[in-house]
Amino acid sequence: MSEQKVYQHWRKEQESDGIIWLYIDKAESKANVLSRTVIEELDALLEEIEGDKPVGVVITSGKSSGFIAGADVNEFTTLQDQDDGFALVRRAQAVFDRLEALHCPTVALIQGFCLGGGMELVLACDYRIAVDDPKTKLGLPEVKLGIHPGFGGTVRLPPLIGAPAAMDLMLSGRALSAKAAAKVGVVDHAVPERHKLTAASQLLKQKPPRKKATGWRAWSNNGLLRPLLAGMMRRKLAKKARQEHYPAPYAVIDLWEKYGSDPKVMMKEEATSVARLVMGDTAQNLIRLFFLQERMKGLGSKSDFKAERVHVIGGGVMGGDIAAWCAMQGLEVTLQDRSHEVIARAMGRAHGLFKKKLKHPLKVRDAMDRLIPDIEGRGIAGADVIIEAIFENVEAKQQLFKEVESKARPDALLATNTSSIPLETISEVLDDPSRLIGLHFFNPVAQMQLVEIVRGAQSNEALIDAGCAFTKQIGRLPLPVKSSPGFLVNRILMPYLIEAVVLVSEGVPAVLIDQAATKFGMPMGPIELADTVGLDICLHVAEILSQELGGEVPEKLRTMVAAGQLGRKSGEGFYQYKKGKPVKPNDTGTPPPDDLTDRMILRFVNEAMACLREGVVEDSDLLDAGIIFGTGFAPFRGGPMNYTAKQGHEQLKSRLDHLQQAHGERFAPDASW
Ligand code: NAI
């Protein structure tokens, strides 16, 4: 084995059998990413290899964290203009073309994540082997950043696996396991770790024909079929994302339809398209969101708190699902409730969740083993984290925490999931009130990424950091907030939901209200959201917030709850529900009021301004991220504060002034405008 010239981010080793091994190992970085210098070094290496004339080349990772996570997203933020973006992308394309054109066979040996630019690199190799390891994930998630593959991915993937599968991967951004990747043909083989070296050298020696789509998969790329298929793909896509909000997936279809027969031209058009998208608002906002998400994860790294055992008290809607989620994340969980039936129901729901997410029967069994029913609360004494999720009642919570404090370990984290009771009040009964923090999960727990880490005036700051670390440990995003009415997410969401109910009371059809909101970019309209959350819960939160912060609760909400119309769960709310789905009329015959969207969104934004002024959350960046992950607020708009800045403060304030004149004091602009 001989070692040659030393590179900063790559290692090249030539074995005695004539095979060259290239290890990517980006310096000073936990994960491999394809920065400009990494790509330039690859180019220099390829030039060397062209002279070496090896039997073959294996490209693999020198890091145990994974293969390649993608392009270097940091570099997207330093691009000057479209030309700069175009040059960056064309350079990478040229290097990957050089890799593809090497005279010897090349194989990518993939273990761990292989995403975005990493996946595009392996597509330029002759063969791909994925190690069958739960960490192996292959995908092209670029659309999640508002762009699409730019290093030749849109060009190379459809001929390899056929257009339907290729488009599915590029339009959804979803990742495949090693086995799934082998099944669709993205990789040649999925192999157990112990066979990986043999598999790579075998391929290089046997040199089987390169894989490509055959049969109907190959036909799907035919010039006559493409326009037809492209139309179908656009219609399917339109159900999930609007072109004006998310142009990138539409651009992928356009590229393939127009240039799918000419790889060379398509390559150039791919670069032009990515360069245009990356400088656009959607991509810039989504890239910012990506970094904000990293920042939130970073909040969880300030403390080295690590939990092994969690005790959850209250096995209802929230407690049961929090317990299940923690068990699924590998923690040992004891679940306490007064009622056997409640715990049995929670165990049943947990089983359903594990089956859906973990799939493998042994994993499901192990997760069920980690979730232990505990009527007597024996788990309190050994738990690292104790989460209270009993019903929303001050005395009950106080009494419970008094007992918990006397039994818990002195270093255990004590947390409440309360939505509305000040932490200062609950903690009054504790010997050490500074021990209590809030861990406010959202419903449904398994879907909502955000957890508000509630800081009472009495809370110990180190425990807030521990709460963030725990949240990160269970794969959730922590957002520290002040213990004030509604915290951040419910406080901002409620005026928007209430305005929607007021609009219904004025006679505006629910479906028009929801359409206006989804057109703005909300994942679900406010009326359907209220029905989904449950009108009784909405009413409860609305009443508490109006007591604390003023404002009126619409009478309509009270009458509907009194009549048992609770939304989806009762089969009727603002909509009627059939098989859990709302029945919506196609045509209401009434035009929507001109200020419909403003009435909802500006109440949202105005409340966000108030929260920022009151210091409910540390800064506008965290507010934006929290609101996007906690409510789904149009991610491509970058959050309410980013939206406000882009629209212009003056402009929005004058729109609020108009609304105040037309509809009353609830639109009075917050003092911070
Ligand atoms: P729930 O009514 O579904 O469950 C409460 C459970 O606590 C019941 O099963 C009850 O038997 C049990 N319980 C009551 N007192 C107990 C005690 N002393 N010891 C043991 N178990 C006891 O309530 P849900 O909706 O799960 O809410 C729980 C907490 O989570 C509340 O503080 C609520 O404000 C908060 N929350 C609720 C959300 C929601 O969407 N439902 C969202 C976020 C927070």
Cα 606 to chain centroid distance, Å, stands at: 26
C-alpha closest to that of 150 among 102, 100, 247, 85: 85
Ligand 1 centroid from CA 333, angstroms: 17
CA distance 297 to 288: 14
CA distance 294 to 325: 22
CA distance 598 to 611: 19
Backbone angles phi, psi at 260, to 5 degrees: -60, -15
Q: Whose CA is nearest to atom 39 of ligand 1?
A: 443
**Is the bond preceding 444 in cis, omega lying within 30 degrees of 0?**
yes
CA distance 191 to 185: 14
- pLDDT number for residue 562: 97
Does residue 111 line the site of ligand 1, with CB under 6 A?
no
Does residue 317 line the site of ligand 1, with CB under 6 A?
yes
Does residue 516 line the site of ligand 1, with CB under 6 A?
no
Q: Whose CA is nearest to atom 3 of ligand 1?
A: 316
**Dihedral of CA 231/233/234/239: which sign?**
positive
Does residue 486 line the site of ligand 1, with CB under 6 A?
no
CA distance 10 to 61: 9
- pLDDT number for residue 589: 81
At 422-464, the pLDDT tens digits run 999 999 999 999 999 999 999 999 999 999 999 999 999 999 9
Q: Are 607 and 613 in contact (CB under 8 A)?
A: no
DSSP 211: P
- pLDDT number for residue 341: 97
Q: What is the residue-averaged pLDDT of the chain?
A: 96
Q: Is a pLDDT exceeding 50 seen at residue 2? A: no
Q: Ligand 1 test: best mutation among 318, 386, 392, most atoms within 8 Å of CB?
A: 318
Does residue 417 line the site of ligand 1, with CB under 6 A?
yes
Does residue 439 line the site of ligand 1, with CB under 6 A?
no
Ligand 1 centroid from CA 520, angstroms: 34
The whole-model pTM stands at 0.93
C-alpha closest to that of 496 among 472, 466, 524: 524
Ligand 1 centroid from CA 572, angstroms: 23
CA distance 594 to 512: 12
- Residue 418 alpha carbon, nearest atom of ligand 1: 32
- pLDDT number for residue 4: 56
- Residue 534 alpha carbon, nearest atom of ligand 1: 40
Q: Within the chain, what is the greatest distance between any pair of CA atoms? A: 83
Which domains are seen in the chain, by residue range? 2-279 (3.90.226.10), 299-483 (3.40.50.720), 490-667 (1.10.1040.50)
Provide the pLDDT confidence category of residue 136 given band limits of 50, 70 and 90: very high
Q: How far apart, in Å, are the Cα atoms of 404 and each of 260, 334, 348, 388, 655?
A: 65, 14, 27, 10, 51
- Residue 419 alpha carbon, nearest atom of ligand 1: 34
Ligand 1 centroid from CA 320, angstroms: 9
Q: Which residues on adjacent β-strands are paired with residue 59? A: 22, 108
- pLDDT number for residue 119: 98
- pLDDT number for residue 585: 86
Q: Is a pLDDT exceeding 50 seen at residue 1? A: no
Q: Ligand 1 test: best mutation among 313, 336, 337, 429, most atoms within 8 Å of CB?
A: 337
- Residue 397 alpha carbon, nearest atom of ligand 1: 18
CA distance 644 to 637: 10
Ligand 1 centroid from CA 502, angstroms: 29
The residues annotated as belonging to the active site are 440
Q: How far apart, in Å, are the Cα atoms of 430 and each of 192, 421, 423, 436, 464?
A: 54, 15, 11, 9, 17
DSSP 669: P
Strand (E) or helix (H) holding 294: helix 281-299
Does residue 318 line the site of ligand 1, with CB under 6 A?
yes
Q: Is 317 helix (H, G, I), strand (E, B) or coil?
A: helix
Q: Whose CA is nearest to atom 14 of ligand 1?
A: 390
First-to-last alpha carbon distance for the chain, in angstroms, is 68
